[in-house]
Amino acid sequence: MSLPPSAPMEAPVEPPGEVAAVPAPRFLADIYEDVSRCNKCSLCQAVCPTYQVNPLEWETARGRVALIRDAMEGRLELRDIADGPLSTCLTCDNCMAACPPRVPTAAIVDRARQELHEQEGYPRGQRWLLRRVLPRPGGTRTLHRLSRAAQVTGLHAAAAGCTSPAGSGPWGGWRRELVRWPGAGPISASPASPR
């Protein structure tokens, strides 16, 4: 067994007692200590349902927490991780149960989502849906009926067959969402059963 080579003499050595400066968080300073507790032990991988489906590092609690910390310290923006790590976390707290330092990942992801919406705001359609439709029971029933009518009449199939340049624009986004629905294939016209 041989010893590792010694460090070259030209290597900079920090004076004893001085600690490297830690960047101050740009936002979410109240949870920065919780974010900093993650020791990257990877015990969260075994219990994370999203990691089991999609085994990517950012699908684990340690990956999400590291990306949120990078955003807090200014190395990236929250909007850069909005479509992945922030949107796929189920906030089930399975990771916290397996975590030795008990990092509250669900609370960290919730606060990061709130901060993202404060920074970016909600899209106009989502604001309308959240303020005008969902609070009213009749609104959700109407949305359900419209969705079911689109399935029965085949409108969703027509939208899936429609081509637009690279699926762009509002029609392309709507078409992509319809195609992803489970069981969004053609529905046979059969008499409705009485309720």
pTM over 0.75? The answer is: no
Rounded distance between C-alpha atoms, residue 47 and residue 60, angstroms: 9
Q: Which residues contact 110 (CB under 8 A, 6 or more apart)?
A: 91
Residues of the chain with pLDDT under 70: 1-23, 161-195
**pLDDT at residue 134, as a whole number:** 80
- Cβ of 109: how many Cβ atoms within 10 Å? 21
pLDDT at 195: 46
Token readout for 102 is 């008990």
Share of the chain above pLDDT 90, in %: 29
How far, in Å, CA of 94 to CA of 44, rounded? Answer: 8
pLDDT for 187 equals 45
